[in-house]
Amino acid sequence: MTFSISPDNKKFKIPDEKMTLKEISNIKYLCALNRKKGKKIVVVQGLGFVGAINSAVIADTQVDNEIPYFVIGVDLPTKNSYWKIPIINRGESPVEAEDPEVKLIFHRAVHQKNNLHATWVSQAYTEADIILIDINLDVEKIELGKAVNSRVKINQFKEAITDIGGRMRPDALLIIETTVPPGTIEKIVAPIISEKFRERKIDLEANPPLIAHSYERVMPGKEYIKSIKQIRRTYSALNEKASEEARKFLSNIIDVKNYPLWRLPNTTASEIAKVMENSYRAMNIAFIYEWTLLAEDLNVNLFEVVDSIKVRKGTHDNMMYPGFGVGGYCLPKDPLLAEWASREIFKREKHLNFSVQAVDINDLMPLHTFELLMRGMNNILKGKKVAILGASYRKDVDDTRNSPSIVFYDEVLKNGGKPAIHDPYVKVILQREDIVVDQDLDRTLKLAEAVVLVINHGIYLSSAAQKIASNAKKNACIVDAFNILSDQDIKSLKEKGFLILGVGKGHINNL
């Protein structure tokens, strides 16, 4: 018997064939019931950070006191994914989030409105009026700092589309929300669906596939729900009918009165928009990196410099600060999707050098903090306890996807150090169960010979300096990689005998 285990260690039996047969009939019953109530059936494929929340938001939607959509969320009955399904069906959220609305919305959608059901059976697609694709399209990096050699896992995505093409109703609307390489819908999705329709003897003239693209701008954190409902949304479609239906659907979900939809004339344009948007952000971070190194060497506090520049509203106010590195699902990979599309779909010889380079620079950033650590430790790390404060890549969330903390942790290990990692939000790092994340800050810091502050969680801003002073070894080396410590903290720790270094904080030498 196989189990799927949730991040908070709940065990769920992965369904067998008998359960699956029962679930198929359950799905049919639920759809018939809700269709009778006048609802359309929306099936969301993928119950990750986007799809899960999206499912609940759509299920929770009311328009003029009517509930327009019954929602079925689909994910795979695998060890890594299955647990989300029973969790959602209990009315709980499969993602931890600061936004208190997240918990409420799952409870409302499942228990009060009886309007959200999660499942693992593909037969849901045959029932759907609208299918939302929210599965991941991952990029696997072969080597750190060589992003151009990455593998885009397009085959898994193609298989999912193929499966849907074999099941979806000819008149169903398919909305791709997944971030995809530009050109994917026209050159990959549409041909697959058409081919499947032909196999199913569906007349393509009478039933041109209704495929739209609308990328999300979801941001896990304090405004998780707002980042779905109250945010500008871009969309596009392969034909007028799909465009009009996508517009109607999105208008029901999103507060379009205050956040009007933006239509782009074709799916390639909106696919470019998504990856370009994230590439811009990635590049703005990479830009700071080389100025960070300059500032350190010139004894300058780059945070102050950036603050002085950011007063230029409209041109410079989005300048980033020095930091530890870049994590999350999008920024480390989206420029690579564009590069891949350019090369593989469109056979271009020109590269998106600047954007790909940004990924490399950002991926290598945690190694700069490691260099500072080594400098502070006189290059001797063997056997030394190194406390790492922070496992997630983002302030006050539990998200550890592509967290630079992991790169740093491994580097410490590789050099013979003993990393101890703390994060108040993170219970487990998926795919890296070997890393034990401690929730006890005192224990993590106890007798540490080095302390590295890597993310600006509120608790570090308020208490890290004091906790370090009372727990770490005297003379420990402290590396502040995210401007956690104030100049006052630094002076006081220096007086106590600690050695302090900081990313972008060249002025520390003069304090």
Residues that bind a copy of itself (CB under 8 A): 182-183, 217, 232, 234, 262, 264-266, 268-270, 272-273, 276-277, 279-281, 283-284, 286-287, 289-291, 293-295, 297-302, 304-305, 308-309, 311-312, 314-319, 338, 342, 346, 348, 350-355, 357, 361, 507
List C-alpha distances in Å: 175 to 216, 275, 395: 11, 17, 31
Pairing of strands 261-263, 173-176: unpaired
Q: Which residue has the tokens 């707002």?
A: 226
Cα–Cα distance for residue pair 434/410, rounded to 1 Å: 11
- Smallest distance from the beta carbon of 283 to a copy of itself, in angstroms? 5
Comparing CB distances to a copy of itself, the nearer of 378 and 510 is 510
Do 476 and 389 meet the contact criterion of CB atoms below 8 Å apart?
no
| Residue 387: CB minimum distance to a copy of itself, A | 28
Question: Measured from the CB of residue 503, what is the shortest distance to a copy of itself in angstroms?
Answer: 15
Smallest distance, a copy of itself to C-beta of residue 268, A: 5
Closer to a copy of itself by Cβ: residue 29 or 259: 259
Please state the closest distance from residue 298 (CB atom) to a copy of itself, in A.
5
Nearer to a copy of itself, 239 or 475 (CB): 239
Of 338 and 450, CB closest to a copy of itself: 338
Q: How far is the CB of 490 from a copy of itself (least distance, A)?
A: 14
Q: Which is nearer to a copy of itself, 3 or 346 (CB)?
A: 346
Q: What kind and span of H or E run contains 140?
A: strand 139-140
Q: Dihedral of the CA atoms 219, 289, 179, 256 (nearest 10)?
A: 40
Do 6 and 88 form a contact (C-beta atoms < 8 A)?
no
Q: How far is the CB of 293 from a copy of itself (least distance, A)?
A: 6
C-alpha angle 447-451-456 in degrees, rounded to nearest 5: 135
Cβ 57 vs Cβ 229: under 8 Å:
yes
DSSP string, 80-113: TTTTHHHHHHTT--SS--S-HHHHHHHHIIIIIS
Beta pairing partners, 508: none
Residue keyed to tokens 């929300």: 177
Strands 385-389 and 261-263: unpaired
> Which residue lies nearer to a copy of itself by CB, 234 or 456?
234
Q: For a copy of itself, which is the closer residue by CB, 24 or 345?
A: 345
Q: Please give the order of strands across the beta sheet that includes 210-213.
A: 116-119, 69-74, 40-45, 130-133, 173-176, 210-213, 233-237, 261-263
Q: Which is nearer to a copy of itself, 37 or 232 (CB)?
A: 232
Q: Is residue 406 within 8 Å of residue 363, measured between CB atoms? A: no
Longest dimension (CA), the chain: 80
What is the SS3 assignment for 220?
coil
| In the complex, least distance from residue 264 CB atom to a copy of itself, rounded to whole angstroms | 6
Contact 119, 110 (CB under 8 A): no
Which residue, 86 or 221, is less far from a copy of itself as judged by CB?
221
Q: Write down the least CB distance from residue 12 to a copy of itself, Å.
A: 38
